Structure 1
Amino acid sequence: MAGFDLPYEPIRRRLYTPAELFQGFDPAQPASFAQTADFAIYQHFVAQGRTAPDNPYMGMVQALHDNTITQATNVFKAGRRVAAIMGGHKLARSAPAYRSVAVMARRLTRQGILVCTGGGPGAMEATHLGASLAHSSDSDLAEALAILGTQPTVPALADIVAPSGAIDPDCVAMAHAWFAPAYQVASAIRGPAESLAIPTWHYGHEPTTPFATHTGKYFQNSIREDGLLSLAKQGIIYAEGKAGTIQEIFQDGAQNYYRTFEYFSPMVLFGVQYWTDTYPVVAVLQKLFDPADYAKYVLVTDDVDAAAHFIEQFTPLS
């Protein structure tokens, strides 16, 4: 764009692909994590003042980019049944719940449902792993989990880019070590089934998953969050998570309460003890919703098949 030195297109006609976002990544070169297009955009975003840049024209360009991402997303999801799986970014790749999420996503994808997430680590990564392996066997999933398990937990990377735009090489090396197994597994999948990631450079220190075939990445997290929830009209499964996931539960609850998007979409709280005792959101939802709506549209379960079936069987406006 004339007058700007931008590492991204302000007006896009398409969603991002893994090949585009991670161009420049080399599994054998730790420094290469900071040489990808995705990282360059994040570094520029931070150096310009993040979502409140001093240069008003930079804010305008970010808004223009985000609007075109919304338009491209609308084109991509048109005519599809879209469901989401939400959950914590710290969910370890070695955790049983990580595998459960992957299995649910694989099943939903096999049923012709497009799954989407916030596009980051943890439960989000597990979702896209499962979706990408929809045409693969249980042994393929087990092999992928074994490779990913060599780097089980996403490291703390909040300081990977300083406000000045300076890069912390130690954080880059840690990010590379964690990302490399996922990149390796994703690159080896032939004909991955489609899935949609909706991440944000607001959380750009968290690596975007390479397992999603299509990525709509935003600068403004508020626009991204609202849009992500509104996409999933087939329903949402909530795996274990903390502040961000709880925010999504209640934001989704408000949309359903007011029928913001035409009708009440199913809500599955996956993890009975977690959502009734550890973070007791179930009690609030029971009080919030009409009893008939709660009985029909909300499921609290530990059963992978029951969770997936609850989403699959939903027919809007039924």
Structure 2
Amino acid sequence: MAGVHWNSESPASDRHPEHDREIESLKEFDQVASTGSLAGYRIQSVDLMDRTFALLSTDTTESVFLGCAMEPDAAAKVRAGGALVFPPIPDLPFDPYRGSLYGPEELFEGLVDAGYDATPDALTYHWYQGTKSDGDIFASMLRSIHDDAVSDALDEHLAGAQVVGIMGGHALERGSAAYAGAARLGRRLARDGLTVATGGGPGAMEAANLGAYAAPFEDEMLESALEILSKAPHFGPSITDWARAAFDVRRSQPGGGSSVGIPTWFYGHEPPNAFASHIAKYFVNAVREDGLLARSNAGVVFLPGAAGTVQEIFDNATPNYYQSRGEPTPMVLVNRAHWTEKLPTWPLLQALAADRPMATRIALVDSVDEVPDALVRLRSGASS
């Protein structure tokens, strides 16, 4: 069913702060402060060093300032006026109070000149490695605050969107037919008006984000990108070379389509990919995995993978099995031989689905080319 377009709305990344009482930019701060009252607002990671006069003259009753730099006089005044102030934390490689999702340029800053080890992504992983086992409650609090802030930003970004999650193994190499197939799938779904969301890592995840990035261009763009990427097929030998190849593609074809990646520093040896325009990176892997599946409201596609992908299949099947309200999320498993012979997950999934509403929301297909039609069919309630 080529050309199927799903009902969707633009992500709510430009909402006026009065809609949720969160202020995440200097522009939003100025708009609200001009009314004379910041009472009850939450201001996240906005540099207010040049807004001392506004802070001194504005009502801040029951407002909360999260990681906002400000002059000492301004900080004292807003506290005295009934605000709660969480100051910026010095010397951290990440912002625990951030009000927006990451972009690839932010996580990979410094890649070209100094290599991957100098990037904020790598530095944050090293900080995580150094603090996750020392029992320091302050470090664990910072990780929790960060992950909650990222979840909030992700919900804002995806509000109103029809999201399809694409799961698959990280070991899938650039240059392979399977990688190209996953990229074509991401492109097709994005062109159909869906928001592609992945685990944000390499392999099948990168391929799907690449496809969404390629969606606005002519088909030849993807073929050219695949050729460039094939020169650095895997991140194992050198994350720097692997990531630089991705940015070579982005520089040669700027302005690609949007998609979401949801990676984790828990797997710090596994870098995020550079083709997801919006990246929700977490410290806690369980929050990341559950969050990705829960937000995939238009369906989940499972490409061939190993233990992690099998886990994701049943993580998604469990709420579908117990679904008592609404409709179960469509689930499409790709590659019959993989899911019936190599890792016989499909028979167990069928057994779980028997006599349950989810029975009409699961499908097994042979190739990625069948996925879009399968999703449409499953959303109508017709089983495979």
**TM-score of the superposed pair, with normalisation by structure 2:** 0.73
Give the CA RMSD over aligned residues.
2.0
Gaps of 5+ in 1: 157-173
CA positional deviation for 1:117? 0.6
User: For 2:301, which of 237, 246, 255 is the aligned residue?
Assistant: 237
Give the secondary-structure state (helix, strand or coil) at the position aligned to 1:299: strand
Number of the residue aligned with 1:145: 226
Q: What is the distance in 2 between the residues matched to 1:133 and 1:261?
A: 37
1:107 matched to 2:176? The reply is no
Q: 1:261 to 1:69 in 2, by over 3 A?
A: farther
Number of the residue aligned with 1:283: 347
Number of the residue aligned with 1:55: 136
The 10-residue stretch of structure 1 (187-196 or 217-226) with the greater mean CA deviation from structure 2: 187-196
CA positional deviation for 1:190? 2.3
1:20 matched to 2:110? The reply is no
CA positional deviation for 1:304? 2.6
**Could you tell me whether the CA contact under 8 Å between 1:108 and 1:312 is conserved in 2?**
no
Give the secondary-structure state (helix, strand or coil) at the position aligned to 1:237: strand
CA positional deviation for 1:312? 4.2
CA positional deviation for 1:44? 0.9
User: For 1:188, which of 252, 262, 265 is the aligned residue?
Assistant: 252
**Could you tell me whether the CA contact under 8 Å between 1:263 and 1:317 is conserved in 2?**
no
Number of the residue aligned with 1:116: 197
| Aligned counterparts, 1:31-42, within 5 A | 31-42=114-125
**Could you tell me whether the CA contact under 8 Å between 1:299 and 1:307 is conserved in 2?**
no
Q: Cα deviation per residue 1:74-98 (whole Å; 9 max; x = unaligned)?
A: 0000001000110000011122111
1:8 matched to 2:94? The reply is yes
Q: Cα deviation per residue 1:218-241 (whole Å; 9 max; x = unaligned)?
A: 001111111011010111111111
Q: What is the distance in 1 between the residues matched to 2:188 and 2:325?
A: 25
Q: 1:74 to 1:134 in 2, by over 3 A?
A: same
Q: Cα deviation per residue 1:121-172 (whole Å; 9 max; x = unaligned)?
A: 000000100000001122111111111111223317xxxxxxxxxxxxxxxx
Q: 1:262 to 1:211 in 2, by over 3 A?
A: same
Q: 1:94 to 1:291 in 2, by over 3 A?
A: farther
In terms of Rg, which structure is larger? Answer: 2
Q: 1:33 to 1:306 in 2, by over 3 A?
A: same
Give the secondary-structure state (helix, strand or coil) at the position aligned to 1:126: helix
One-letter code aligned to 2:275 = F
Gaps of 5+ in 2: 1-86
Number of the residue aligned with 1:270: 334
List structure 1 runs of 4+ shifted beyond 3 angstroms.
Answer: 1-4, 291-295, 312-318
One-letter code aligned to 2:333 = L
Number of the residue aligned with 2:127: 44
**TM-score of the superposed pair, with normalisation by structure 1:** 0.88
The 10-residue stretch of structure 1 (5-14 or 58-67) with the greater mean CA deviation from structure 2: 5-14
**Could you tell me whether the CA contact under 8 Å between 2:104 and 2:276 is conserved in 1?**
yes
1:213 matched to 2:277? The reply is yes
Give the secondary-structure state (helix, strand or coil) at the position aligned to 2:111: coil
* Relative contact order, higher structure (CA 8 A, sep 6+): 1
The size of the alignment, in residue pairs, is 296
Question: Identity of aligned pairs, percent?
Answer: 38
Q: What is the distance in 2 between the residues matched to 1:102 and 1:273?
A: 21
